[in-house]
Amino acid sequence: MPETPNLDAQVNGPQYLGPATFMKVRALTEPAELERAAPDVAIVGAPWDDGTTYRPGARFGPRAVRIANYQPPSWHLDLQVAPFEVLKVVDYGDAVCYPGLTDQAHDAIRARVSEVASRKIVPFVIGGDHSITYPSATAVADAYGRGKVGLVHFDAHADTGNSSWGNLASHATPMRRLIESGAIPGRNLSRSGCAATGRSSRRSSGCGPRACAGT
């Protein structure tokens, strides 16, 4: 690794200095850098929200999370561990998502997460609307074997709708797409917090009793 005394001084300085990476961890951009660094965890941004049917803006989520960190990583009082001393974490930047191009954006997210997961590095994906779960989880399933990965889904909606006004890749459909594609079978999907009670809630977001059925 080249010597970077100025960057090191910024990273090790106060929180307002230096690049806005996740918790000020080192930024990597290329697969070869992942190979050399061999981290335990890689942060991946998925700045995509064209799948939302209500309030957009989640495309700014990865940037917002990165700049919101104003405390240095240290001892976690509840868990009694210093996570950044136990794990080597890097920030692998964002998947390149251009507005309005759903297939291209999802392909970019899948490819970016795959670069991480295929090296047995844990991807920590920051979105983005809920549709990013489909390409992200698919990449992990492909890395570890389809049907061998489980998913725990915390949400007020099941996200197992078939479509939103004809859009099969909306934020209401990723769990159905994962089941139908075979990436994550329904038996491997568990959800908590489902509370949709609005108009056509069962039809639009799949919160009926068989929402997670599948093989």
Q: What is the mean pLDDT of residues 158-178?
A: 93
The residues, ordered by sequence, that sit 6+ positions from 208 with a Cβ below 8 Å of its Cβ are 202
Q: Which pLDDT score is estimated for 15?
A: 82
pLDDT of amino acid 143: 98
pLDDT tier at 93 (50, 70, 90 boundaries)? very high
Over 80: is that where the pLDDT of 73 sits?
A: no
Model confidence pLDDT, tens digit, residues 128-146: 999 999 999 999 999 999 9
For 7, the token pair is 């960057």
- The answer to whether the beta carbons of residues 62 and 16 sit under 8 Å apart is no
Q: What is the pLDDT of residue 69?
A: 78
Q: What is the mean pLDDT of residues 6-35?
A: 91
- Rounded average pLDDT over 186-201: 75
pLDDT at 201: 45
User: How far apart, in whole angstroms, are the C-alpha atoms of residue 191 and residue 153?
Assistant: 4
Q: Does residue 214 have a pLDDT over 70?
A: no
Q: How much is the pLDDT for 194?
A: 84
Set out the domains of the chain in order of their start, with CATH numbers. Answer: 1-144 (3.40.800.10), 147-215 (no CATH)
Round the average pLDDT of the chain to a whole number and report it. Answer: 89
